[in-house]
C-alpha cells in the first residue's frame, strides 16, 4: 500500500510542527524519516497513523482518503519508542490482542489466533518466550514483541517511531539489520522515524530528511548522501566541516586562501558556506599555493582503520576534523602539535551565512 501525503499542516500553540509537507511512500518500501529533534518527523508519523489530527492537508492510503479516519479503522501498525506493551499480558496475549478485539463476525477462531501468533513469534524469533511477561524481557526483545503485535493485524502500513531509540548501541545495530531482513520477508510499506543518520542510511530504501517542519530532501540513501540538495542536508548527513566565506566568480575565499567552486561562476561577492566532509580533507607538510589553510594538530586518535585528527586553524582559531586512512596517516608522519597545511579534495558550496 502506498502512502500519499499532501500539504499537511500542524501547529502546536504558535509553533508550526509541520509546514506544508507533501510526501509519497511507494508501496512495499521501507522509508526513513530523518531529522533533528523538533523537525516534525514524529508529528508527521503520528498524523499518518491517525493518533494526531492534522490542521490541514490530506493523507491517502493507496489512493483511498484516510484523512478523517480514526486510528482504529486505519489499519496501521504502530511501534512506539518505549514499546507500550500491555504489561499485564503475556507475550502471546500481547500479540493476540489485535485479533481478540475484533468484532465477533470477523474474529478468528482460537485455533487460528494461536497459529497466527505463534507464526509471528517465530518470525521475530521469540517462540520460546511466548508465556513470559514483558517485564521479564530485554529491551530488544520487547521491541520485537511490539513489532509482532503490530504485524498481527495485517496492517496496510507499518509505522515505527524511533523504534531503536531506547536501546543500547550494540542491540540497535543488530536490530536494524534484523528489521531490514524482516522487511524483505513481509514486505509491508513501512515508515520509521529516526534521528540517527547512520541508521536511516543503512536500513531504508528511501530517506526523507526533515527540518523545521519541512521536507528538505527525499531520495535513496546514495542520492541524499552524494548529492545533498540543501546546505542543511549536507550538514546533517555524515561528518562535515564548514567554512564561512565569500563567493566570487567561481571561487570561495576563506580567510587568506581560496577554493574552486565552479558552479558559482555567476556569483559576485556573496556570502557562502563551504562544506568539506572529514574524509575529503587533505593534509600536507608544506603549503600548496593559496588553496591551503595552515593548522596545528591538536589531537590524534589512532584506533581502528581510520585515524581521526582534530586541527586548530591558525587563521580564525576554529577547530576542524579530518579522517585519514591509516596508511596515508603513517606516510605523512604527523604528530600532535605539528604544523600542517589543509586542503580539500571535494568542496560543496551553498549560498548564505
Residue numbers at the binding site for another protein (CB under 8 A): 49-51, 70-78, 80, 82, 84-89, 97-98, 101-102, 133-135, 146, 149-150, 152-153
CB 203, min distance to another protein, A: 22
CB 234, min distance to another protein, A: 35
The CA–CA distances, whole Å, from 65 to 5, 170, 215 equal 10, 40, 22
CB 50, min distance to another protein, A: 8
Beta carbon nearer to another protein, 44 or 150: 150
Beta carbon nearer to another protein, 152 or 342: 152
Taking a C-beta distance cutoff of 8 angstroms, is the pair 316, 242 a contact? Answer: no
With H, G, I as helix, E, B as strand and everything else as coil, classify residue 201.
helix
Nearest to 81, CA basis, from 165, 203, 196: 165
Beta carbon nearer to another protein, 135 or 286: 135
Beta carbon nearer to another protein, 89 or 118: 89
Beta carbon nearer to another protein, 165 or 250: 165
What one-character DSSP code corresponds to residue 289? T
Q: How far apart are CA 36 and CA 52, in angstroms?
A: 20
Q: How far apart are CA 51 and CA 235, in angstroms?
A: 32
Beta carbon nearer to another protein, 42 or 194: 42
Helices (H) and strands (E) in the chain — how many of each? 9, 20
Taking a C-beta distance cutoff of 8 angstroms, is the pair 143, 163 a contact? Answer: yes
CB 286, min distance to another protein, A: 60
117-125 long-range contacts (CB < 8 A, ≥24 apart) are 117/92, 117/148, 117/152, 120/95, 120/148, 120/151, 120/152, 121/91, 121/92, 121/95, 121/148, 123/148, 123/151, 123/182, 123/185, 123/186, 124/148, 124/182
CB 15, min distance to another protein, A: 17
CB 71, min distance to another protein, A: 5
Residues in the chain: 353
Q: What are phi and psi of 123, to 5 degrees?
A: -60, -40
Beta carbon nearer to another protein, 80 or 192: 80
CB 299, min distance to another protein, A: 39
Amino acid at each position: 500500500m502506498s502512502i500519499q501525503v499532501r500539504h499537511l499542516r500542524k501547529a502546536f500553540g504558535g509553533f508550526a510542527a509541520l509546514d506544508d509537507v507533501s510526501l509519497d511512500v511507494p508501496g512495499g518500501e521501507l522509508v526513513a524519516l530523518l531529522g533533528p529533534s523538533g523537525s516534525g518527523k514524529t508529528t508527521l508519523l503520528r498524523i499518518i497513523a491517525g493518533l494526531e489530527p492534522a490542521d490541514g492537508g490530506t493523507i491517502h492510503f493507496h489512493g483511498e482518503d484516510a484523512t478523517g479516519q480514526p486510528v482504529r479503522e486505519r489499519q496501521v501498525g504502530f511501534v512506539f519508542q518505549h514499546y507500550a506493551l500491555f504489561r499485564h499480558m503475556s507475550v502471546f496475549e500481547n500479540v493476540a490482542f489485535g485479533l481478540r478485539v475484533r468484532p465477533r463476525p470477523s474474529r478468528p477462531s482460537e485455533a487460528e489466533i494461536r497459529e497466527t501468533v505463534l507464526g509471528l513469534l517465530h518470525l521475530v524469533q521469540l517462540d520460546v518466550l511466548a508465556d513470559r511477561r514483558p517485564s521479564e524481557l530485554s529491551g530488544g526483545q520487547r521491541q520485537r514483541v511490539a513489532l509482532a503485535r503490530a504485524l498481527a493485524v495485517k496492517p496496510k502500513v507499518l509505522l515505527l517511531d524511533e523504534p531503536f531509540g531506547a536501546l543500547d548501541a550494540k542491540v540497535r545495530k543488530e536490530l536494524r539489520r534484523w528489521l531490514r531482513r524482516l522487511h524483505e520477508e513481509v514486505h509491508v510499506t513501512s515508515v520509521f522515524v529516526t534521528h540517527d543518520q547512520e541508521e536511516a542510511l543503512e536500513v531504508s530504501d528511501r530517506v526523507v530528511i526533515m527540518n523545521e517542519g519541512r521536507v528538505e530532501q527525499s531520495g535513496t540513501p546514495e542520492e541524499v548522501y552524494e548529492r545533498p540538495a540543501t546546505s542543511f542536508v549536507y550538514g546533517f548527513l555524515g561528518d562535515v566541516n564548514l567554512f564561512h566565506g565569500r563567493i566570487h566568480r567561481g571561487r570561495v575565499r576563506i580567510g587568506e586562501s581560496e577554493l574552486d567552486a565552479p558552479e558559482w561562476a555567476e556569483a559576485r561577492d556573496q556570502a557562502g558556506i563551504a562544506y568539506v566532509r572529514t574524509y575529503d580533507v587533505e593534509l600536507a607538510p608544506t603549503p600548496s599555493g593559496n588553496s591551503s589553510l595552515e593548522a596545528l594538530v591538536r589531537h590524534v586518535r589512532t584506533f581502528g582503520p581510520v585515524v581521526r585528527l582534530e586541527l586548530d586553524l591558525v587563521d580564525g582559531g576554529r577547530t576542524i576534523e579530518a579522517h585519514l586512512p591509516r596508511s596515508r596517516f603513517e606516510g605523512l608522519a604527523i604528530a600532535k602539535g605539528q604544523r600542517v597545511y589543509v586542503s580539500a579534495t571535494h568542496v560543496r558550496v551553498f549560498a548564505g551565512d
